[in-house]
Amino acid sequence: MTGDRCVDLQLVDCSKRFTQPDGSVLGVLSDVDLSVRGGETLAVLGRSGSGKSTLLNILGLLTDPSEGTYLVDGRVSHELDEDERCRLRGEQFGFVFQDYVLMERRTALENVAAPLLHASDAAYRNRTAAARHMLGRVGLGDRERSYPWQLSGGQQQRVAVARALVRGPAVVLADEPTGSLDIDTGAEILDVLLSLAAEQGCSLVLVTHDERLSKLADRRLVVEHGSVRPLADGRAEPVLP
Ligand SMILES: Nc1ncnc2c1ncn2[C@@H]1O[C@H](COP(=O)(O)OP(=O)(O)OP(=O)(O)O)[C@@H](O)[C@H]1O
Ligand SMILES: [Mg+2]
């Protein structure tokens, strides 16, 4: 179950606009060039409303750029039909959200096994064993029968991390995964996320408001006024390849 597939993501000259209910057009991202290489970890910072989640949604094939090209492992996103898009999303991406988004009527184990429901790969035939393994890796081996409402926020986020990684994705997209947690619990969650991502060889794009935690990533970017720029902290690298 190691994600040894290295998938490069590349945004070329991408813009994103939304038409608001009153008919006005809101430009959120403009002419963004960004590469995420297989296996790298990237932190994305920026003020509320700057477009961080929008950027993540484009990377995760949840929406397309209004203009420009998004290449997933060399494939152009807007040329994918809905089936291909769903398949790529399920096979290549794992998602972690601020509010966990677990199924309330399912146990921790069932939540983690959920992404394997439609996996046809022989390696995933034993869904329960794979889910149990991941739950153990996030330190919840003894809580597999617990429902989300019986778990703390930090534990629920561990379940969400296990669910994101159970299928061995190439890329994990995490939108403020520590945003609802206290500082120490948030740091623990990020530690688990980073070490499992490193172990599986998958990339991680982490949206965070936490400057300190963002320093754990290989590279840091800021979304500001529609642009995505490297954070000028001495560790920054050019955005373009
Ligand atoms: N589907 C949509 N339709 C219309 N406007 C949208 C849509 N999605 C996002 N927006 C707008 O785009 C802007 C950027 O939103 P986004 O959610 O990407 O910000 P963010 O940086 O993630 O903010 P936060 O830190 O608060 O989560 C906001 O002004 C938001 O209202
Ligand atoms: Mg957001």
Pocket of ligand 1 (CB under 6 A): 18, 26, 28, 46, 48-54
- Residue 2 counted as domain residue: no
pLDDT digits (tens, 9 = 90+) for 201-234: 999 999 999 999 999 999 999 999 999 999 866 4
- When divided into structural domains, the chain yields a total of 1
Domain with residue 23: its CATH number is 3.40.50.300
- Residue 157 counted as domain residue: yes
Where helices occur in 108-210 by DSSP H, the ranges are 108-113, 127-137, 153-165, 183-200
- Residue 238 counted as domain residue: no
- Residue 235 counted as domain residue: no
pLDDT digits (tens, 9 = 90+) for 77-136: 999 999 999 989 988 999 999 999 999 999 999 999 999 987 766 656 688 999 999 999
- Residue 198 counted as domain residue: yes
Specify whether the CB–CB gap between 187 and 154 falls below 8 A.
Answer: no
* Sequence-separated (6 or more) residues with CB below 8 Å from residue 210: 178, 186
- Comparing 116-120, 137-141, 155-159, 175-179, the range with the smallest average pLDDT is 116-120
Q: Please give the distance, rounded to the nearest whole angstrom, from the Cα atom of residue 148 to the centre of ligand 1.
A: 28
| Whole-structure pTM value | 0.92
* Displacement of CA 176 from its chain's centroid (Å): 10
Domain span including residue 190: 9-230
Report the alpha-carbon distance of residue 227 to residue 130 in Å, rounded: 40
Q: Output the residue whose Cα is nearest ligand 1's atom 1.
A: 18
Structural tokens at position 136 = 């153990």
Residue 6 has pLDDT above 80, yes or no: no
- Residue 77 counted as domain residue: yes
Q: Please give the distance, rounded to the nearest whole angstrom, from the Cα atom of residue 149 to the centre of ligand 1.
A: 29
- Residue 239 counted as domain residue: no
Q: Output the residue whose Cα is nearest ligand 1's atom 6.
A: 18
In the sheet that holds 67-72, the strands lie side by side as: 25-36, 9-19, 67-72, 75-76
- Residue 197 counted as domain residue: yes
pLDDT digits (tens, 9 = 90+) for 66-76: 999 999 988 99
At 44, which amino acid appears? V
Q: Please give the distance, rounded to the nearest whole angstrom, from the Cα atom of residue 54 to the centre of ligand 1.
A: 6
Q: What percent of the chain has pLDDT over 70?
A: 90
Residue 236 has pLDDT above 70, yes or no: no
Report the alpha-carbon distance of residue 105 to residue 34 in Å, rounded: 39
Give the number of other Cβ atoms within 10 Å of residue 33's Cβ. Answer: 16
- Please state the rounded mean pLDDT for residues 132-155: 96
